Structure 1
Amino acid sequence: MHSIKQKPSSPNLPNFTQLGVLFRIGITLVFFGALHELIISNSVTDFVTRFSVMVSSFSPIVLTILLGLYFLSKPLSNRPYWFSSMVVVLWCELCAVTWLWLSNALVFDLQKTWLLTPSIVIFLLYYFRVRELALSPAITEARLQALQARIRPHFLFNSLNAVLVLIRIDPRKAERVLENFAELFRVLMADNRQLVPLAKELELAKQYLEIEQVRLGDRLQLEWHVSKMPGDAMIPPLVLQPLLENAVYHGIERSVGVGNIGVNIYYKGNEVFIQIRNSHRVSESAPHEGNKMALANIRERLMLHFDMEAEISAQPGHDYFQVMIRMPYQKEAK
C-alpha cells in the first residue's frame, strides 16, 4: 500500500508555453510602455504619436522576448526558482538592450532600459507568483471537500455494511472494496499540487465507482467510452472523482429505478475532452449546490494549470446532467 506524502509548496515559474501567460506578459509590457509615454507627453496628440512610435519600436522586442521564453520554459522547469528567474531577467534585459541598440531607437535610452527592464520582469514574476498562491488554495480545498464527502455518514455506513455482507459471501470482493477505500483516502490526503497522468486519474475514478456499485447494485449502470483516451495526458488530480461523486449523489441516488453514468474521454487535435453524463429526474435538472461547488473548484484548478487554454461547462437537460471539460493535450516532461 502506498504511503501519504506531503511536500511544502515551492514557487514555480509560469508556464511560458501557455497562450494565456504570454498574452498577460505582452499586455503588461505594452501597458508599462504606454504609461511611460503618458507621463512624458504634453498633450493627447503627443501621446498618440509617442505611443505609435513606441509600439512600432517595441513590437520586435516583445515578440523576441516571448519567443525566447517559450523555448526556455521546458529547460527551466526543473531548475531552482531563483536560477530560472535570473535567466528570465537576463534574457529580457539582453533582448531589450540589443534591439534598442541595433535600431537606434529614441523612445528609451539605454540607461532607462537597464533600470526599467529588470523592474518590470520582477514585477511580472511577482504577479504570477501571487496569482499562483491565490489559486492554490483551491487544491487544498478540493482535497478537504472530497475527504468530507468521502466520510459522509450515509456513504461510509452503507459501504461498510456492504463490506460486512460481502465478507460472508465473497471475501475477496470485500477485500477489494477495502483496498479501494484505502487508495481513495491515500490520494485525497496526498500532495495534489502536481499534474498526474489521465490513466491514473481514470483508475481512481473506477475504484470509486466500484465501491458505489457495491452499495447501489444494479441501480448504477456505467458506460465507458475511453478507447480514444490519451492515457499519457497530464491533468490536475481529483477532477474525475468529484464529478462522478456528484453524478452518483445528485443523480443516481435521488432517482427512482436504474440510473446511468456515461464517461467519454477522447482527444482531438491538441486538446483532451472529458464528458461525464448522468441520468437525472426532470424535477431536479438544475445544478445543485454540490455540483456548483465542484465545478467552481475544478474551474479554478484548470485555470491555475492551463490558464485560458482549458474550460469546464455544465449542461443540465430534461432528464440528464452533463459536464464537459476541455484542456490542452500536455504530456509529462521527460
Structure 2
Amino acid sequence: MSAAHRRGFVMPDFRRPGVLLRLLVVAEGARWVWWAIGATAAERLPPLWAGALLFEPVLLTVAALLAVLAPWWRRGSARRALVATAVLTVGVALAWRAWVERWGVTVPGPVSVVLGAVAVWALVAVYFDWRQLRLSPALAEARLLALQSRMRPHFLFNSLNSVLALMRRDPARAEAMLEDLAELYRVLLAEPHTPVPWYEELALARAYLAVEQVRLGERLRCVWHVDAAPAQALLPPLTLQPLVENAVRHGIEPRPDGGTITIEAFRDDDHLVLFVRNPLPPAGAATRGHGLALANLRERLALLYDDEARLRVYESEGEFVAQVRLPLRPDALSDAPRRSAS
C-alpha cells in the first residue's frame, strides 16, 4: 500500500474493553519475551518477581489513565496524542519506581525505566497502527465488493429485463423500479467510510427487495419487524443490504416455491440488534457462495467497533439466521423503546 493510500495513525479508543485487553496482552507479552531472552535459568525467578512488582502497577495505572483521558487523546492530532501518552507512561513509570524503591526492593535505574517504558509504549503503538492498517482495506473493499458481487451484472440485466416487461402493462411500476435501481447505485457509489442513519439503511434494503420482488414475484415474501429500532442510529453503510441479498441468493432463489425473509431490528439496552432470517436452501443446492459479504462485514465491524459489535450466523428451525449487534450513540438511545434480545 502506497503512502498516498495509507490512512494515518488513529489513536485507539481506550474506553473499549477490547482495546484495553489488547493493550495489556501486548505489554505483558513484551515483558515475558524480554525476560525469557535476557534471563538465565538460575536468575529468572527473583528478577521476574521484582519486575512484576514494578511493571504491573505501571501498566494498570497507565491503562486506567488512558481510558479516563480517551476523549482528550482523540480530540487533537494523533502525533500530539502519541507524544502525550509516551510522556504519561514515562511519568507513571518513574513515579512507581520511586514508590517501590522506598520499600527496599531493588529496581532498575531511572534511565532503564525510561527506556523500558518508551520501548513498551512504542511496541503498543506499533501494534495498534499495524492492526488499523491490516483491517483498513476492508473499508475500501466494501465498495468494491458491492460493485462486483452484490450488484453483479446478471442482477442488473435481470432487473432491466423486468423493467422492459413492465413498460407496456404497468408503466408506473416500471418507473418505480427504475427509481429503486437508481437509489441502489447512488448508495453503492457513495463514500463508504461515512456512517449512515438506520432509516437510510432500511430504505436501501426496502429498495433492493422491491427490485427483487418484481423479478421473483410471489416467490419472495418479506416480513418486517423494524418499528422498535431508533431511526437516527448510525451504522456503517451496507450493513443490512448485504444480509438481505445473501438471504435472497441463498434462501429464496434456489427454492422453486420461494420463501419468506424476516427482517427484525430493535434496541437492546445501548445496542442496535438486527436479525435477517431466510429458509435454508434445498439439499444439494449449488449457490452457497464463498461468504465474502459476511467476512467483509465482520472485518468492518471489528475495525469500527472492536469487540463492541459482532456478527453471528447460525441455523435454527430450518432457517439461516444472521444477527448483527452494534453499539448505539447516546443521542439515539431515546429514539425507540427498549427491548431485550434474549
Does the TM-score normalized on the shorter chain lie above 0.5? yes
Relative distance call for 1:14 and 1:258 in structure 2 (3 A) is same
User: Structure 1, residues 41-63: CA drift from partner, whole Å, max 9, x if none?
Assistant: 3435x423332333233332222
Q: Please say if residues 302 and 310 of structure 1, whose CA atoms lie closer than 8 Å, have aligned partners that are also in contact.
A: yes
Q: 1:74 aligns with which of 48, 71, 74?
A: 71
- Residue 187 of structure 2 corresponds to 187
- CA distance in 1 between counterparts of 2:128 and 2:286 reads 36
Aligned length: 325
Q: Please say if residues 230 and 266 of structure 1, whose CA atoms lie closer than 8 Å, have aligned partners that are also in contact.
A: yes
Q: 1:14 aligns with which of 4, 9, 12?
A: 12
- Residue 96 of structure 1 corresponds to 93
SS in 2 for 1:15: coil
Relative distance call for 1:194 and 1:113 in structure 2 (3 A) is farther
- CA distance in 1 between counterparts of 2:193 and 2:331 reads 15
1:275: how far off?
1.3
- CA distance in 2 between counterparts of 1:75 and 1:268 reads 29
Q: 1:53 aligns with which of 50, 53, 62?
A: 50
Q: Please say if residues 285 and 317 of structure 1, whose CA atoms lie closer than 8 Å, have aligned partners that are also in contact.
A: no
| Farther off after superposition, 195-204 or 163-172 | 163-172
Relative distance call for 1:96 and 1:317 in structure 2 (3 A) is same
1:231: how far off?
3.6
**Percent identity of the aligned residues?**
36
- CA distance in 2 between counterparts of 1:152 and 1:52 reads 61
SS in 1 for 2:278: strand
After TM superposition, the runs of 4+ consecutive aligned structure 1 residues lying more than 4 A away are 165-173, 284-287, 330-333
SS in 2 for 1:289: coil
- Residue 205 of structure 2 corresponds to 205
- Residue 302 of structure 1 corresponds to 301
Task: Give, as a single letter, the amino acid of the residue that structure 1 aligns with 2:64.
Answer: L
- CA distance in 2 between counterparts of 1:76 and 1:49 reads 37
SS in 2 for 1:227: strand
SS in 1 for 2:126: helix
- Residue 4 of structure 1 corresponds to none
Task: Give, as a single letter, the amino acid of the residue that structure 1 aligns with 2:132.
Answer: E
1:274: how far off?
1.7
Relative distance call for 1:285 and 1:67 in structure 2 (3 A) is farther
Q: CA RMSD in A?
A: 2.8
- Residue 241 of structure 1 corresponds to 241
Relative distance call for 1:152 and 1:224 in structure 2 (3 A) is same
SS in 2 for 1:226: strand
| Farther off after superposition, 277-286 or 180-189 | 277-286
- CA distance in 2 between counterparts of 1:13 and 1:287 reads 42
Q: Which runs of 5+ in 1 are unaligned?
A: 1-6
Relative distance call for 1:249 and 1:35 in structure 2 (3 A) is closer
- Residue 267 of structure 1 corresponds to 267
- Residue 115 of structure 1 corresponds to 115
- Residue 224 of structure 1 corresponds to 224
- Residue 325 of structure 1 corresponds to 324
SS in 1 for 2:108: coil
Relative distance call for 1:150 and 1:323 in structure 2 (3 A) is closer
Task: Give, as a single letter, the amino acid of the residue that structure 2 aligns with 1:297.
Answer: N
User: Structure 1, residues 24-81: CA drift from partner, whole Å, max 9, x if none?
Assistant: 111222223334444553435x423332333233332222211221133223334222
- Residue 127 of structure 1 corresponds to 127
Q: TM-score of the superposition, structure 2-length normalised?
A: 0.83
- CA distance in 1 between counterparts of 2:285 and 2:266 reads 26
1:299: how far off?
1.7
SS in 2 for 1:238: coil
1:126: how far off?
1.8
Q: Which runs of 5+ in 2 are unaligned?
A: 333-342
Q: Please say if residues 150 and 242 of structure 2, whose CA atoms lie closer than 8 Å, have aligned partners that are also in contact.
A: no
1:173: how far off?
4.4
Relative distance call for 1:298 and 1:151 in structure 2 (3 A) is closer
- Residue 3 of structure 1 corresponds to none
Task: Give, as a single letter, the amino acid of the residue that structure 2 aligns with 1:9.
Answer: R
- Residue 178 of structure 1 corresponds to 178
1:331: how far off?
5.0
Task: Give, as a single letter, the amino acid of the residue that structure 1 aligns with 2:319.
Answer: Y
- CA distance in 1 between counterparts of 2:82 and 2:59 reads 18
